[in-house]
Chain A
Amino acid sequence: MALLQVQDLCVTLNTAHGPQEVISHINFSMEAGDKMGIVGESGCGKSITALALMSLLPRDSQTRGKIILEGRDILKLNSNKICSIRGNRIGMIFQEPMTALNPVKQIGAQVSESIYLHLKLTRKQTLERVSELMDKVGLPVSKFGLNLYPHQLSGGQRQRVMIAMAIACNPEILIADEPTTALDVTVQEQILDLIRDLADSSGMALIIISHDLGVIAQTAENVMVMYTGQSVEMGSTMDVFQNMSHPYTYGLFSAIPHVGSSVQLDRKRLNSIPGQVPELHLRPRGCNFADRCSRALKICKDKEPMATRVADHHQVWCYHPLTCEDKK
């Protein structure tokens, strides 16, 4: 049985334009130790997907579908049971460490709080666990102590505190939502290494969310590409990044300047995707990408595409996916 199965997940939120479905029919499943990436541009629904898994969506939202954690649909649980899963079985590192940490509380207290909440430990045991965690994330108590406040730490150190809190109760699943977006590349490298090592050594499943294709390429084994709340392409990172089939995935890759561009004789213009992401209330009836897609067929504007198989475990939601010849 899979550790986590997400089936037909849809989320509707109240927006300025009334209720809008911001996540539509998301499906994926994970085993222990899997590393999955979610990639896509701002507003495509990456964080909302993560918040749905954590049962942290706004109160006035509606969620449909199933989120099955070890055989139990957590969308059907009462709030007490959900609390014992959140933080305990699924840990999360948030997009903005400064807003997720309490600015007026010492870091030691913040980390021990997340332990108190779930593990019934004595004071002494808690302290031991905190010190073990701080070692793991590279902020050894002997060197940093526990009574620093978040503002006294660098961005990378704050993110390490967040990681310590997220893994405090040995969760089976760790969700990292843009864990390095605010950091310098050298610090990013350290934090990604840390997250990867923690996942590898504990068998924790990892969901890493980023808009940075490089970050996903180097940390995730499988990837889901999202556009306007839907998955458009999914598969092993190798397949999707080396043999992309969806015009949007292809567009993303040709829009980024590659390291090494300065040796090319003629620096080509970047391929930008024409137009812009449609607003939620203005999404077209058929394929959401149709207005920007150079491969659109007539059917694309009428009917949403279903998943088709490109290779084993490599799926694309498109009527006219790219073939090898198209990419030459």
Chain B
Amino acid sequence: MKQPLVKIKGIYKDYQLPKKFLFQKAPVFRALHGINLELHHGTSFGIVGESGCGKSTLARIVMALDEPTSGTVFFDGQDLFNMPAAKLKHLRRNFQMVFQDPYGSLNPRKNILGIVAEPLDTLKEKLSFAQKKERVAKILTEVGLNATDTDKFPHEFSGGQRQRIAIARALITRPSLIVADESVSALDVSVQAQVLNLMMDLQEKYNLTYMFISHDLSVVEYVTDQVAVIYMGKIVEQGTTKTLFHGPLHPYTQTLLRAVPDVNPLNKKQKNKPVIPLFKKTDMSCPFIDRCHKATKTCVDNAPELLGNDGHLVACFNAE
């Protein structure tokens, strides 16, 4: 098989929390806990999990915006956290991020030309103003905006249009990887559909690789080929989108999928029952033990490893 575009290897991320007492050792919060993933050319990888599980932390590390505590990321075989700063700067043109908030992520004082052209500064070759303007105009039409929009400011656009601007900015350096962190979450469904269609068209056209983060499971099912479910900084299940959505094995994945309200009022699906924790959680336990309806004694003293075959991996002793 071809070398993956992105190889995420053994990522741990600890955050230092503020000290409560002057001479105390600063407490540490472990946001990511040994993450391994491979993203292949031209495919979409979905990351799902509840708020605070570490999705954005992982995204920032893949984008080399933040350093892991240990582990590393290989982009096209090159170790992002073990290379000279100048080289990383030039490599950045190949991976770009689209953020969640179509209002907050665009500088309100810059015009569209300034916003979209910004990543061009990381390129080796220096472009003239006219060249920049031409590149921006071209990319704007590609994302469905007008070439003449370059002089406008973000507030003159609707939410969906702003997200198109953010996508245009991400695409202008012709990257191979786009990390989309909740990029469509703030949009209305009719606008969301426009932006998702655009993202899928662009993927086909440029063989883009997406890392697609969303809390909306139906959107993730729709756009991705592979998916990983994260719970408290650990991958608990991973596989092709099809197998994972149709035969989820981990109790947490099953809980998540059951919780999505169906748009068909006739479909009263089996609901999650409240779980009364039977076992006391320790540092050794499976992280899901206090919310799991399948927990047994084994899960108290051991945390399950992520295992499986045919690419469907699950971290649970009682998976079925």
The answer to whether A242 and B190 have CB atoms under 8 Å apart is no
Q: Which residue of A lies closest to B264 (CB)?
A: A217
The answer to whether A259 and B257 have CB atoms under 8 Å apart is yes
Q: How far is it, in angstroms, between the C-alpha of A192 and the C-alpha of B260 when the chains are bound?
A: 12
Neighbouring B residues of A267 by C-beta, 8 Å: 222
Neighbouring A residues of B197 by C-beta, 8 Å: 269-270, 272
- Shortest A292–chain B CB gap in Å is 9
The answer to whether A255 and B50 have CB atoms under 8 Å apart is no
The answer to whether A259 and B218 have CB atoms under 8 Å apart is yes
At the interface, yes or no: B245 with Cβ under 8 Å from chain A? yes
Given contacts A251-B190, A257-B219, contact A185 B196 (CB under 8 A): no
* Cβ-Cβ contact count across A and B, 8 Å cutoff: 119
- Shortest A61–chain B CB gap in Å is 24
At the interface, yes or no: A110 with Cβ under 8 Å from chain B? no
Interface set, chain B 172-208, CB cutoff 8 A to A? 188-194, 196-197, 200
Given contacts A217-B263, A251-B190, contact A185 B221 (CB under 8 A): no
Given contacts A185-B260, A261-B222, A267-B222, contact A255 B265 (CB under 8 A): no
Q: Which residue of A lies closest to B215 (CB)?
A: A184
The answer to whether B264 and A186 have CB atoms under 8 Å apart is no
Cβ contact of B50, chosen from A186, A212, A256, cutoff 8 A: A186
At the interface, yes or no: B298 with Cβ under 8 Å from chain A? no
At the interface, yes or no: A214 with Cβ under 8 Å from chain B? yes
Given contacts A41-B188, A263-B242, A276-B160, contact A214 B261 (CB under 8 A): yes
Q: Per-residue 0/1 for B213-252: is the Cβ within 8 Å of any A Cβ (1 yes, 0 no)?
A: 0010111011100000000000000000110011000000
The answer to whether A257 and B246 have CB atoms under 8 Å apart is no
Given contacts A41-B188, A212-B261, A218-B265, contact A272 B256 (CB under 8 A): no
Neighbouring B residues of A242 by C-beta, 8 Å: 264-266
Q: How far is it, in angstroms, between the C-alpha of A44 and the C-alpha of B202 when the chains are bound?
A: 31
Neighbouring B residues of A186 by C-beta, 8 Å: 50, 255-256, 259, 272
At the interface, yes or no: A128 with Cβ under 8 Å from chain B? no
Neighbouring B residues of A253 by C-beta, 8 Å: 263
The answer to whether B51 and A261 have CB atoms under 8 Å apart is no
At the interface, yes or no: A271 with Cβ under 8 Å from chain B? yes
Instruction: Report, as a range, how many residues of chain B touch the other chain.
Output: 35 or more
- Shortest A184–chain B CB gap in Å is 4
Q: Per-residue 0/1 for A210-242: is the Cβ within 8 Å of any B Cβ (1 yes, 0 no)?
A: 011111011000000000000000000110011
Given contacts A270-B197, A272-B197, contact A185 B190 (CB under 8 A): no
Instruction: Report, as a range, how many residues of chain A touch the other chain.
Output: 35 or more
- Shortest B177–chain A CB gap in Å is 21
At the interface, yes or no: A73 with Cβ under 8 Å from chain B? no
Neighbouring A residues of B219 by C-beta, 8 Å: 257
Given contacts A192-B261, A241-B264, contact A262 B242 (CB under 8 A): yes
Neighbouring A residues of B191 by C-beta, 8 Å: 272, 276
Q: Which residue of A lies closest to B197 (CB)?
A: A269
The answer to whether B51 and A256 have CB atoms under 8 Å apart is no
At the interface, yes or no: A189 with Cβ under 8 Å from chain B? yes
The answer to whether A258 and B263 have CB atoms under 8 Å apart is yes
Interface set, chain A 112-171, CB cutoff 8 A to B? 155
At the interface, yes or no: B283 with Cβ under 8 Å from chain A? no
Cβ contact of A252, chosen from B158, B189, B200, B242, cutoff 8 A: B189
Cβ contact of A238, chosen from B50, B193, B259, B266, cutoff 8 A: B266
Q: How far is it, in angstroms, between the C-alpha of A42 and the C-alpha of B193 when the chains are bound?
A: 15
Neighbouring A residues of B310 by C-beta, 8 Å: none
Given contacts A262-B222, A272-B193, contact A215 B266 (CB under 8 A): no
- Shortest A223–chain B CB gap in Å is 9
Q: How far is it, in angstroms, between the C-alpha of A317 and the C-alpha of B49 when the chains are bound?
A: 40
At the interface, yes or no: B320 with Cβ under 8 Å from chain A? no
Q: How far is it, in angstroms, between the C-alpha of A42 and the C-alpha of B186 when the chains are bound?
A: 10
Neighbouring A residues of B194 by C-beta, 8 Å: 272
6 A-B residue pairs with CB within 8 Å: A217-B261, A253-B263, A257-B221, A259-B221, A260-B245, A262-B221
Q: When A and B form their complex, which 4 residue pairs have the shortest distance between CB atoms, in order from nearest?
A: A257-B222, A214-B261, A272-B193, A270-B193
Q: Which residues of A are interface residues toward B (Cβ below 8 A)?
A: 41-42, 155, 184-190, 192-193, 211-215, 217-218, 237-238, 241-242, 251-253, 255-263, 267, 269-273, 276-277
